[in-house]
Copies of this chain bind each other. A is one copy, B any other.
Amino acid sequence: MTPEPGGGLRSTRQRAAVHAVLSEVDGFHSAQDLHAILRERGERVGLTTVYRTLQGLADAGEIDVMRPPGGEALYRRCSQGHHHHLVCRTCGQAVEVAGPAVEAWADRVAAQHGFVEVSHTVEIFGTCPRCAAGEQMRDTGGQ
């Protein structure tokens, strides 16, 4: 029970590595994905540590977590404020989008029903122009 206020975190090589990878890669990646990237770079970081570090970063609001229908959670370093994502379901590329109207709508709807402590998730999935262009060879015969 001696909680160090604020400075309770130690700066370790592993944490820096995870942080660095997140800064350099583009789009959303799973924890295992990031772990593989670290290994390729020669960084020796345990998978458990990757998970914990990501958890901590997500907890601190420094990265965003997304749970696509597929299964694994995806992480990405994002701008700090509240925003949402437009994600390509083929290549993973993500665009940050802001929707003040949506925020307002969500709050209003929740308030109408008397809900408090409201949070919301908005995710838009689609196929980005590049992937859509390379994908059109797929309707032989059909259904």
Contacts and interface: CB of A to CB of B under 8 A. Distances in A.
Contacts of A10: none
Contacts of A116: 126-127, 129, 132
Given A86-B109, A105-B99, A110-B86, A127 B117 contact: yes
Contacts of A132: 114-117
A139 B79 CA distance: 32
Q: How many copies does the complex hold?
A: 2
A101 interface: yes
Contacts of A122: 102, 106, 120-122
A41 to B, nearest CB: 30
A44 interface: no
Contacts of A42: none
Contact of A123 (B120, B125, B127): B120
Contact of A127 (B86, B101, B115): B115
B126 A117 contact: yes
